């Protein structure tokens, strides 16, 4: 029987990584990721986890160590947030280009400036195009589960991509939630030891990351793009297997009261819990509203999201990130692009809200839906709106 305990979500992540029996951890502490790596360093120091814990001088070095360790065939983990992630940015692209199954936990936090430690998804979005599988988590159990599943996905020979799991900084990383832990045997039965197909080995020399000329680069990029897109059915298969074993099923886009709904809210991450309560309230008032949670950000589940919004008139996208000077919310922009070629498609209203730790309350979700319906009936939909900004 699974043990159900109250755990800080960061610690649940570390416990999962311990159960995943990683070989190498290289990380640099940064708020609000600190508790994850602090607890892992304790796990190693106290002998609960037989891993190499590399203390580094920066996040750039942390991910560089992970790349080296992964290339040598180790199961490798790191965690970061915000400025740490963008300091890793150079190596993010390298890890995915080299197809190394590094796993990262990201306690999502705003990018400076102005300097802030609070949460939103601007750090994730800054790495949108780096070629990592990117998964949003919604609650503590989800974080625990994905922290194990991520290794299985990343290391699958049909995948071999670095994988990032995102939990809302503070709103998720620092709260205590009930989490069902799994035993070592249960995790081992789901996650076999990592057996790399290619690795740096003096007895079998090979070169990773060689210099490339223009007559090869585009073919290599095409291969990477096709490969990342082809991971989607494998991710779904692995999530399904997890569900069959442990009873918790995950989907690239999950629907709540979305069947036949005229209006849908689309959001990624922990704030979807509040949106769910807002949907319940609106349903009680007789409004035909549902909720879509975007779980998989890369590879983007185009077909799944097209299917999910098919019958709706209006999709209200709530983004916790802003593409400054661009199209506002990154998820809204992605959705619009995904729907553009369809003959029949719902209107998409984009709100940017909840930046840098600002809450989005239940009644504010209701207000966003009402505003969006107003835009739709007036026939004038703005490109995007920053919601709740003082005028």
Tokens matching residue 272: 């979807």
Question: Which range in 24-32, 94-102, 258-266, 356-364 contacts another protein by CB under 8 A?
Answer: 94-102
CA-nearest of 233, 228, 229 to 96 is 228
User: What is the C-alpha end-to-end distance of the chain, expressed in Å?
Assistant: 54
Q: How far is the CB of 56 from another protein (least distance, A)?
A: 24
Helix (H), strand (E) at residue 385: strand 385-386
Contact present, 299 and 131 (Cβ < 8 Å): no
Distance CA 218, CA 196 (A): 26
Distance of CA 373 to the CA centre of its chain: 29
387 within 8 A of 368, measured Cβ to Cβ: yes
Quote the tokens at residue 385: 């709106």
Name the one range near another protein by CB under 8 A: 77-85, 97-105, 263-271, 315-323.
Answer: 97-105
For another protein, the binding residue among 90, 184, 189, 216 (CB under 8 A) is 216
Contact pattern from residue 156 through residue 195 relative to another protein, giving x for each residue in contact according to CB under 8 A and a dash for the rest: ----x-----------------------------------
Q: How far is the CB of 134 from another protein (least distance, A)?
A: 19
Closer CB to another protein, residue 210 or residue 378? 210
| Residue given tokens 């979005």 in the structure block | 125
Quote the least distance from Cβ 213 to another protein, whole Å: 9
Which of helix, strand or coil describes residue 153? helix
Q: Which residues pair with 293 in a beta bridge?
A: 254, 267
Q: What's the rounded Cα separation, in Å, for the pair 21 and 15?
A: 10
Strand 176-181 versus strand 3-8 pairing type: antiparallel
Q: Is the peptide bond before 79 cis (omega within 30 degrees of 0)?
A: no
Q: Which is nearer to another protein, 79 or 228 (CB)?
A: 228
Pick 202 or 286: Cβ nearer another protein: 202
Give the separation between CA 159 and CA 100, rounded to whole angstroms.
10
Q: Does 208 bind another protein (CB under 8 A)?
A: yes
Cβ-based nearer residue to another protein, 1 or 210: 210
d(C-alpha 289, C-alpha 369), whole Å: 9
Shortest distance, CB of residue 207 to another protein, whole angstroms?
Answer: 4
Determine the size of the site formed for another protein (CB under 8 A): 21
Ranges within 226-255 binding another protein (CB under 8 A)? 226
Q: 110: which DSSP letter?
A: P
Three-state secondary structure call for residue 310: coil
Closest CB 60 distance from another protein, rounded Å: 21
Three-state secondary-structure class, residue 178:
strand
Closest separation in Å from C-beta 221 to another protein:
8
Is 198 a binder of another protein (CB under 8 A)?
Answer: yes
Does the protein bind another protein through residue 298 (CB under 8 A)? no
Q: Could you say which of 58, 223, 230, 303 contacts another protein (CB under 8 A)?
A: 223
Residue window 117-156: x/- pattern of binding to another protein, with contact defined by CB under 8 A: ----------------------------------------
Per-residue contact flags (x/-) with another protein for residues 50 to 89, judged by CB under 8 A:
----------------------------------------
Minimum CB separation of residue 306 from another protein in Å reads 27
Phi, psi of 358 (to 5 degrees): -70, 130
> Which residue stretch of 117-125, 171-179, 207-215, 336-344 sits at the interface with another protein (rule: CB under 8 A)?
207-215
Pick the binder of another protein from 50, 90, 129, 219 (CB under 8 A).
219
**How large is the angle between the packed helices 214-229 and 82-97, nearest 10 degrees?**
110
Q: How far apart are CA 78 and CA 93, in angstroms?
A: 15
Among 2, 45, 220, 342, binds another protein (CB under 8 A): 220
Among 35, 75, 99, 171, binds another protein (CB under 8 A): 99
The residues of the shown chain that bind another protein, judged by CB under 8 A, are 97-99, 160, 197-198, 205-210, 212, 215-216, 218-220, 222-223, 226
């Amino acid at each position: 029987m699974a043990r159900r305990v109250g755990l800080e979500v960061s610690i649940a992540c570390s416990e999962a990584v311990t159960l995943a029996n990683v070989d190498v951890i290289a990380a640099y502490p940064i708020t609000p990721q600190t508790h994850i790596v602090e607890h892992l360093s304790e796990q190693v120091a106290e002998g609960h986890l037989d891993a190499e814990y590399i203390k580094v001088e920066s996040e750039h070095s942390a991910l560089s160590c992970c790349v080296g360790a992964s290339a040598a065939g180790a199961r490798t983990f790191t965690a970061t947030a915000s400025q740490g992630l963008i300091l890793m940015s150079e190596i993010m692209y390298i890890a995915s280009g080299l197809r190394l199954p590094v796993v990262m936990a990201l306690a999502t936090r705003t990018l400076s400036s102005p300097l802030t430690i609070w949460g939103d998804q601007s750090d994730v979005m800054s790495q949108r195009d780096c070629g990592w599988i990117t998964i949003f988590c919604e609650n503590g159990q989800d974080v625990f589960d994905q922290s194990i599943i991520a290794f299985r996905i990343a290391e699958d020979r049909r995948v071999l991509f670095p994988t990032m799991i995102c939990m809302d900084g503070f709103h998720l990383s620092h709260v205590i939630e009930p989490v069902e832990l799994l035993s070592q045997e249960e995790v081992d039965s789901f996650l076999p030891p990592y057996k790399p197909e290619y690795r740096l080995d003096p007895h079998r020399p090979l070169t990773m990351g060689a210099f490339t000329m223009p007559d090869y680069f585009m073919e290599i990029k095409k291969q990477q793009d096709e490969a990342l897109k082809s991971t989607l059915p494998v991710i779904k298969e692995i999530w399904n297997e997890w569900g069959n074993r442990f009873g918790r099923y995950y989907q690239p886009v999950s629907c709540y009261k979305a069947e036949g709904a005229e209006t849908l809210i689309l959001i990624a991450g922990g704030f979807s819990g509040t949106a769910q309560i807002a949907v319940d309230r609106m349903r009680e008032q007789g409004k035909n509203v549902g909720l879509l949670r975007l779980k998989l950000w890369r590879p983007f589940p185009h077909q799944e999201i097209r299917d999910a919004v098919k019958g709706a008139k209006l999709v209200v996208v709530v983004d916790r990130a802003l593409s400054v000077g661009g199209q506002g919310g990154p998820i809204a922009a992605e959705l619009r692009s995904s729907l553009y070629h369809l003959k029949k498609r719902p209107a998409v209203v984009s709100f940017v809200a909840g930046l840098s730790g600002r809450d989005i309350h239940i009644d504010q979700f209701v207000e966003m839906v009402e505003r969006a319906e107003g835009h739709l009936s007036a026939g004038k939909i703005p490109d995007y709106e920053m919601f709740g900004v003082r005028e």
